[in-house]
A and B are shown apart, each in its own frame.
Chain A
Amino acid sequence: MTASTTLYARAKEPTALRRLLTAPAAGPFAALVLACVFFSSATDQFLSGGNFSLILQQVMVVGTLAIGQTLIILTAGIDLSCGAVMAFGGILMARLAAEGSLPPLLAITTGIVVCGGFGLVNGLLVRLVPLPPFIVTLGMLNVAFALTHIYSDEQTVTGLPGPLTALGKTFPLGRTDVTYGSLLTVALFLVFAYALNGTAWGRHVYALGNSAESARLSGIRVSRLTVGIYAVAGLVYGVAALLLVSRTGVGDPQAGQTENLDSITAVVLGGTSLFGGRGTVLGTFVGVLIVGVFRNGLQLMGVSSVYQTLVTGVLVILAVTVDQLSRRGSR
């Protein structure tokens, strides 16, 4: 136990194999690989560059949301409002650019900043009032949902200018086509993986998640950190909004209604603990891919969508079980 802790803390050149087996995302990653092997043998179409590119493109929106969700869950919080905030950001960008006279890039920036604003308000309420994150974001879910429908007048916005849909376009990579948005999503995951692992800020996030009180005693400005995390998460949702708009090519007032739970699913499947302080953003990426691979693979097999939901549910329960068991083991 202590030996391995030292391995981590001091980074004494652990062997690649050992690092792989002990990484928090090892279980989810093994599940992902096995799922890929299974679907490759079950269907002819699964194993192709084009299909993997498709999966990546299909998960980019919920994947990006899940980055923000991971940050918040690492602080032992939860964000139920992410999908609704994204929907509002998306419809805002779409309408400002398509119907208003705003230049597209300004419309995009406005959308992202407004999403950041929602996050900021969430953070302030969580930390300064203080209120439980569940309640704050539940309220914000309804606020953002209502604002989306009021602002859009229930109308889908079409005729978006090029820059809003640019991330949905593809470029050739080898023999397949990859979406720019997929690249952006992967880049965001890498950026946040570095921020959490390689910076003091990242260590503070974990410390806060483990115990807000000890974090405070060790000199971390907990309020500023918390509010900052929610605000950053909001900005990330803004990027997700742009990805959403560019993927579907329209501003859709009905979007984002299940994405809050979908993003939590991805985070949990990726091995991040709902009790805070444990988990990685790369694990979340694996979690997002697990959902995407199952949905795609089962559809290729011709399995009804109800079974996709069933399988996802079973996986979530098992993932939390694994978390609890390994938690008990580490005491």
Chain B
Amino acid sequence: MSRRPRPALPRPVLAVGALGLALSLAACGSGSGSGSGSGSSSGGKVKVGLITKTDTNPYFVKMKQGAEQAAKTEGIQLSTAAGKFDGDNASQVTALENMVAAGVKGVLITPNDSKAIVPAIQKARAKGVLVIALDTPPEPQSAVDALFATDNEKAGELIGAYAKAAMAGKQAKIATLDLAPGVSVGVQRHDGFIKGFGVTDSDPSVVCSQDTGGDQAKGQTAMETCLQKAPDINLVYAINEPAALGAFTAIKAKGRQNDVMIVAIDGGCTGVKAVKDGSIAATAQQYPLKMAADGVKAVAAFAKSGQKASGYTDTGVNLITDKPQSGIDAKDSAFGLQNCWG
């Protein structure tokens, strides 16, 4: 009847073995964290934390690299964390608290939820920690000490102006492949493109607008739907290169790859290669590595001088294309490949 577990001396014994294994794995982890120190009694070394949206997106992998390089040159200790999925606020809050407990001088964070992260940021700042947002501002932006990010509207304007010049007076039929409703990055890029092209959203030349979530498969589906709706589309704006490549697949399936121009934003390596082979006409490249590196430097400076970084720092954007238009500043795909991420 009673099926209580048998008095199991092996349990504690096994547990000890399990723990030993787990901890040795952890030790490996701290060892491989390029220059992040072994952790144990790191003395008076300045610490900085980096919290990204996820661990897996190549964009954030590049961000981490930038932080690691800068931490090495500045001689400070970096610790990193990430959400488990895009939108995961709880993990970011926990990581932020733990980093503050670990005594970091500053934290660089790419908020998963612009609003929900704010109370945790306020707590950290109340303890004197410098908090810098990378890539994505919190709401309100004043919740952090400083923001290092791409000017997404400017990025949109660049490719809008390029597309306008490249169309050379030809009547445009535009499809916009957007991100998702209400997400600021997507809205800013879209608005920038429309402005740069010199039209409005209600202009008859904008024949189709679809959300893609920045995903290649959804970008393809969206483009197929758009081509169904308006077969004469000749210009595609895509929120990022995965969406653009999805669109290219759909366009190619219709045999229209030579008379439809695609422009995108992001500057990932796959995207720049697509610019090089001609499937995407141009892309606006942003620099996650620089965001993180500048952020780490700002924390190092704060540790030395007590001077806190503040306000918005534009980390720059370049138009990447191999078919430049006169009057539009651009870099070629070779430059793009040297500076791409992913």
* B15 close to A43 (CB less than 8 A): no
Stretch at the interface among B36-44, B171-179, B327-335: B36-44
Chain A positions within 8 Å of B77 at CB level: 302
Stretch at the interface among B16-24, B202-210, B215-223: B16-24
Stretch at the interface among B84-92, B270-278, B297-305: B84-92
**Contacts A298-B29, A325-B10; A158 near B22 (Cβ below 8 A):** no
* A105 touches B (CB below 8 Å): no
Number of A residues whose C-beta is below 8 Å from B?
71
* A156 close to B88 (CB less than 8 A): no
- Main SS class of interface, A: helix
Cα-based distance from A290 to B28 in the complex (angstroms): 20
Stretch at the interface among B94-102, B129-137, B160-168, B317-325: B94-102
* A255 close to B11 (CB less than 8 A): no
- Main SS class of interface, B: mixed
Q: Mark A132-151, 1 if CB is under 8 A from B, else 0.
A: 00000000000000000000
Q: Which of B61-115 contact A (CB under 8 A)?
A: 77-82, 84-85, 87-91, 93-95, 97-99, 101-103, 112-115
Cα-based distance from A286 to B215 in the complex (angstroms): 41
Q: Which of B1-51 contact A (CB under 8 A)?
A: 2-12, 14-19, 21-23, 25-26, 28-30, 33, 36-37, 39-42, 47
* B306 touches A (CB below 8 Å): no
* B55 touches A (CB below 8 Å): yes
Q: Which of A288-310 contact B (CB under 8 A)?
A: 294-296, 298-307, 310
* B33 close to A304 (CB less than 8 A): yes
Chain A positions within 8 Å of B37 at CB level: 302
Number of B residues whose C-beta is below 8 Å from A?
65
* A329 close to B30 (CB less than 8 A): no
* B95 close to A158 (CB less than 8 A): no
- 12 A/B residue pairs, CB under 8 Å, sorted by A: A8-B2, A27-B12, A43-B40, A50-B101, A51-B101, A156-B116, A298-B29, A299-B99, A303-B79, A311-B23, A315-B18, A329-B10
Chain B positions near chain A (C-beta within 8 angstroms) = 2-12, 14-19, 21-23, 25-26, 28-30, 33, 36-37, 39-42, 47, 55, 77-82, 84-85, 87-91, 93-95, 97-99, 101-103, 112-116, 119-120, 181-182
